[in-house]
Amino acid sequence: MSSVVPSPLLDSLLEAALPESGIPWLDAARRENRAAVAAAGLPDTRVEAWKYTSLRSLARHGFAGGDPQAASRDIDPSAFALPGVAGPRLVFVNGVFRHDLSALAELPAGVVLEPLSRALAEDPEPLRFVLSRHYREVGDAFARINAANAIDGVVLRVAAGVEVAASVHLVFIGTPAGAALAWHARNVIELGQGSSLALVEQHLGEPGQADLATLVSDIELREHARLRHTVLQAAGGNHLIRRNSLRLHAGAHAVMHAIELGGALVRHDLQVALIGDGARFDGRGVFMPQARQHIDTQLAIRHEARDTVSDAHWRGVATDRARGVFRGAVLVAPGADGSDANLSNKNLLLSRDAEIDTKPELEIYADEVQAVHGATVGQLDEQALFYLRSRGIGTGEARALLTSAFCCAVLGDLASAALREHLAALLMAHLPA
Amino acid sequence: MLKIENLHARIAGKEILKGIDLTVNAGEVHAIMGPNGAGKSTLGNVLAGRDGYEVTAGTVTFNGEDLLALAPEARAAAGVFLAFQYPVEIPGVNNTYFLRTALNAQRKQRGEKDLDSMQFLKLVREKLKVMNLPNDLLHRAVNEGFSGGEKKRNEIFQMALLEPQLAILDETDSGLDIDALKQVAAGVNLLRAPTRGFLMITHYQRLLDYVVPDFVHVLADGRIVESGDKTLALRLEEHGYDGLAERQPAGAEA
């Protein structure tokens, strides 16, 4: 099920010196994860979760392990400015924390926001549980690679009952480092009981780059915590492999909007576990691969407690020879009675050579469950196109208008109007002329 | 203004229009009547440039220009407007944004400057008032969830805003109750002008009580078989479309 055939990708990652933290349990975890990757290799397309995303071409490339100049690379702060996002900020360049670009001076009371490297240096013990995790599946190769190699990332904690007014901004920038580069970030986010937070996660890169980044985020929402999480991915030509794992305790509510525009090979594993009664997840996503981009979203929602709700709607638009993949798997576990799951993925193919593979899956083992799922792949509505043209709107603009409306349908409930308009404008600008 | 000569058109290989001759001058209102399947809507769609219709013979000129050579958006910019029989719902596209995009796209094609949002809103408010339409029409998605009457009124509103030289109304009266019909007719009457021509396609005489045409043509089996003034419509109302075959021009092919 996996190729242990040596690949330049794996070789380069395995040969790089393991980061030594001096923390025995952490160094042990890194060694174990590296050994696990070395033994199992990378998943091939016979592994269900990687069926539509082949790593063969990526595996042929080697990547240098880290950018020694990352701390001094010139970055224009306007590149990551977003309207309506002016709160605390943590910026990483090629995986390295950049104090000079971050904004940590005035953290609201009850908020801890710091780079993982500092948290480990000061007090590693609270991170032990998360960072000692073992990944068991062969499909988890990149989570293992991340666990073995990540030396920095985000630690964000909101104390119980604290409602953070300003959006927290996490920025991951890939910038050319000469040779092809691999970097890794490990994020640990926890919202205390009854707290609330708006989080904006941004990925940037340049079109000419072809670096590899892995990001793993563990996001824990304690009882009745509320999270609004917006992801804007414009990673340029880079390969970006991310995993967001959310765990929602009783009454917690997470809202995610994920916009995927950039990246050469992009993989987003979004795992949501509704582990407490009445927990709720609302997910909205747009992926828009162009040229030869490959964007793969793997959404897995587990209803593990009573009266949990998930409502997830993703839209894909593929042009040129691009490929989009969406797998939405909803599982309602035994005992999660009264759960309500709604999952949809609608897609537009704007060129004959584009491809979208979509696969909704539903497994229900509980009673009194409401579950709806559906997926469609289609083209723009010819009637609507003619209607717009008959009013004087040119073909290109009419197509852009309809495509943008198709995508923006899932952004309607984004809480920040400024951010919503900005994202809509980005989508519109991203559309093929 | 509009000159149609010997127009033949087919769809999916089936000939629908079999030689139409019709001239519409500025200031004139022409009604095209006829039974179902006569080719009335095909005529409107061919003039507006909908895909799927193949013109096999004949010419259409608009102000001396070959209309059939133009893309639908260029026809619109030249001044042709089709009020749809079935206006299309476009979820996610705000009506105001749509109208402004359309108006500015036409202006751009004509080499005129864009209207900015203030100028545009002023114009829209003015037209809404004249057409006696509610403001909330502007904030909704194009035709989405509109009632039949609202959709048709929205078509007339668009026409008022875009100020075409030639307005083609494709069964704008269909599916309307008498109050909605009167509202739509009032809108059309307001837009009658010496510089504007109308082609009103309708199955029933009812609309013509409220929008009185200068000319009435009967279209049957792809040809205009009879033309006259408004009294022709009244005669049709009395006798129906039966017996049209006998009125076909002598020597016409079936």
pLDDT attached to residue A353: 96
- The string of DSSP codes covering A344-397 is EEEEEE-STT-EEEEEEEEEE-SSS-EEEEEEEEE---HHHHHHHHHTT--HHH
CB contacts under 8 A, A 385-424 vs B, are 386-395, 397-398, 401-402, 404-406, 408-409
Q: What percentage of residues in chain B have a pLDDT greater than 90?
A: 70
How far apart CA A209 and CA B65 sit, in angstroms, is: 52
Beta sheet of B80-83, edge-to-edge order:
B80-83, B166-170, B197-202, B29-33, B215-220, B223-228
Q: Are strands A64-65 and A181-191 parallel, antiparallel or unpaired?
A: parallel
How far apart CA A288 and CA A277 sit, in angstroms, is: 35
Residue A365 near chain B (CB below 8 Å): no
Q: How far is A330 from chain B (nearest CA, A)?
A: 28
pLDDT attached to residue A5: 58
Number of Cβ pairs < 8 A linking chain A and chain B:
77
Residue B85 near chain A (CB below 8 Å): no
| DSSP 8-state symbol, B61 | E
Other beta carbons less than 10 A from residue A211's beta carbon: 28
**Cα-Cα end-to-end distance for chain B:** 30
Q: Where are the beta strands (DSSP E) in A160-211?
A: 168-173, 181-191, 196-204
Residue spans of chain A under pLDDT 70: 1-6, 433
Residue B254 banded pLDDT, cuts 50, 70, 90: very low
Long-range contacts (CB closer than 8 Å, 24 or more residues apart) made by A120-125: A120/A21, A120/A23, A120/A26, A124/A21, A124/A23, A124/A26
Would the CB atoms of B106 and A406 count as touching at under 8 Å? no
| DSSP 8-state symbol, A140 | G
Find, in chain A, the residue whose alpha carbon is nearest to that of B98: A388
Residue A372 near chain B (CB below 8 Å): no
How far apart CA A399 and CA A388 sit, in angstroms, is: 9
pTM, to two decimals: 0.88
Q: Looking at the partner chain, which of B92, B102, B106 has a beta carbon nearest the beta carbon of A408?
A: B92
Q: Which residue has the tokens 């792949």?
A: A377
* ipTM of this complex: 0.94
Structure tokens given for B12: 């999916």
Task: Please state the rounded mean pLDDT for residues B165-174.
Answer: 94
pLDDT attached to residue B244: 60
Task: Determine which helix (DSSP H) or strand (DSSP E) holds B106, and give its type and residue range.
Answer: helix B95-109
Residue B33 banded pLDDT, cuts 50, 70, 90: very high
Task: Please state the rounded mean pLDDT for residues B21-32.
Answer: 96
Contact B105, B75 (CB under 8 A): no
Contact A402, B93 (CB under 8 A): yes
